[in-house]
Amino acid sequence: MNLRFAARTIATLATTAALAALPPSAAHATAIGSTAVASFDYQVGGVTMKVPTGCAFTHIIRGAGRKITYQNAGVDCGFVGALNSGFCNWRIDFTYANTNNRTYRTSRGRTHTECKIDPMRNNSPQKLPHYGKACAHLVVNGARRVSQCHHITK
Listed as own residue / partner, the contacts of 76-83 with beta carbons closer than 8 Å and 24 or more positions apart are: 76/118, 77/117, 77/118, 78/54, 79/54, 80/52, 80/53, 80/54, 81/37, 81/51, 81/52, 81/53, 81/54, 81/55, 82/54, 82/117, 83/52
Q: Please state the pTM of the whole predicted model.
A: 0.79
Per-residue model confidence (pLDDT) at position 49: 83
Per-residue model confidence (pLDDT) at position 85: 72
Give tens-digit pLDDT for 34-87: 999 998 888 888 888 887 778 899 999 999 999 999 999 999 988 765 666 789
Give tens-digit pLDDT for 105-141: 999 999 999 889 899 999 999 999 999 999 999 999 9
pLDDT for 6 beyond 50: no
Give tens-digit pLDDT for 50-61: 877 788 999 999
